[in-house]
Amino acid sequence: MVNLIWVFLAVSGICYAAFNGTMDKVNEAIFLTIEESVMITLSLAGVLVFWLGLMKIAEEAGLLSGLAKLFKPVVKRIFPDIPENDPALGYILSNMTANMFGLGNAATPMGLKAMKEMKRLSGSDQASRSMITFLAINTSSLTLIPTTVIAIRMKYGSVDPTSIVAATIFATAISTIAALIIDRSFYYLRKKAGRAL
Amino acid sequence: MSIWLIPAVILIVLVMATIKRVPAYEVFVEGSKEGIQIAVSLLPFLLGMMVSIAIFQASGAMDAVLSLVKPLTSLFAVPEQILPLALIRPISGTAALSVTTELIRTFGPDSFIGQLASVMQGSTDTTLYIITVYFGAVGIRRMGDALKVGLLADLVGIIASIVIVIILFG
């Protein structure tokens, strides 16, 4: 599906540009984006190096397993196929906590590390059940305090920049719960069709 | 508040490590190395996806699609100006942020559309980016139902933010 989306975006864009005379803009965008993606990767590399280093310390000091133990009842239900004291759970939880507080920069490295641990558990290049669940939770957003949005609202002179926080938390909660339900339904459909992971 | 959060995390981790007699600096360097590896393996996935999205956007095709779908909203009594944001949010984070900023600037942060754009931006995430980055970094090639689940959850999030904003601010 991603293959199709990827090809569709590029092919339809080029065809559209051919008929509407925007090919110069497309050319410019291609080269600007190549540069931009390298810059994003580089700045992400810095963040990754720092947080993965710090998280390794947290792991060795037993903080991650402590976090995993604390939330065991909830997480065990959401990720039933990850063994109880596996480091993957600690990384999943630190990713979720960082996301909730709007620390996107710190959340990504832990999410990537969690993915790596889950890949170690499944040992295949196919997305496992817990990986799909983890992505579903992440894509539905876990933000409790949408700092970027609050900053934009301040910039444009809102009387009450944080007025949207409660509504955002409600909407986030609904979409996360929905994501989990949708994820579960797809899992049982897969299982029924005999291609369960 | 969030100014204190990151330093506090660093402080707690380092103090706990020292109490537990973990050689903090050595472990830090050891763990960090993995970061470079992950970043390098990420580049092809990120670059590929970003270029495709950029072509689609720069050609004007994205705007064309958006104007095609606009009439649809009148059916649901939702302001049509919000539709571009709902459509773009799962595909491109930067594009969504600029649409949100534009909506807040044009209609004012405390208008109905401004509030709706704020909530929608805050309660959803860029599904395509997250899938690209997370699966790309560990080399998952067959992604199962991940994209379908993510996009359906986006749809629910968008509908939820519309309903909630209508109830709270409408």
DSSP B70-103: HHHHGGGT--GGGHHHHHHTTT-HHHHHHHHHHH
Residue-averaged pLDDT of chain B: 88
Q: Is the distance from CB of B138 to CB of B96 less than 8 angstroms?
A: no
Q: Within an 8 Å CB–CB cutoff, is residue B29 touching chain A?
A: yes
d(CA B139, CA A162): 39
Q: What is the pTM of this model?
A: 0.85
What are the tokens at A117? 């641990």
Q: Is the distance from CB of B136 to CB of A135 less than 8 angstroms?
A: no
pLDDT above 90 (res B23): yes
Residue-averaged pLDDT of chain A: 89
Residues A1, B10: C-beta atoms closer than 8 Å: no
Q: Is the distance from CB of B143 to CB of B131 less than 8 angstroms?
A: yes
How much is the pLDDT for B76? 67
The band of A140, judged by pLDDT with boundaries at 50, 70 and 90, is confident
How much is the pLDDT for B47? 92
Q: How do residues B108-144 score in pLDDT, each as one tens digit?
A: 999 999 999 999 998 888 899 899 989 988 888 888 8
pLDDT above 60 (res B73): yes
d(CA A48, CA B43): 13
Query: CA quadruple A7, A132, B126, B32: dihedral positive or negative?
Result: negative
- Which among B35, B125, B142 has CB closest to A49? B35
pLDDT above 80 (res B69): no
d(CA B40, CA B124): 27
Span A100-123, mean pLDDT? Answer: 87
Residues B123, A175: C-beta atoms closer than 8 Å: yes
Angle at A95 between CA A90 and CA A97, to 5 degrees: 95
Residues A171, B160: C-beta atoms closer than 8 Å: yes
Contacts of A112 in chain B (CB under 8 A): 38, 133-134, 137-138
| Model ipTM value | 0.83
Q: Which residue of A has its CA nearest to B3?
A: A103
C-alpha A68: how far from chain center: 19
- DSSP-derived secondary structure for A24-79: HHHHHHHHHHHHHHHHHHHHHHHHHHHHHHHHHHHHHTTHHHHHHHHTHHHHHHHS
Contacts of B154 in chain A (CB under 8 A): 139-140, 175
How much is the pLDDT for A32? 94
How much is the pLDDT for B5? 76
Span A131-160, mean pLDDT? Answer: 89
pLDDT above 60 (res B103): yes
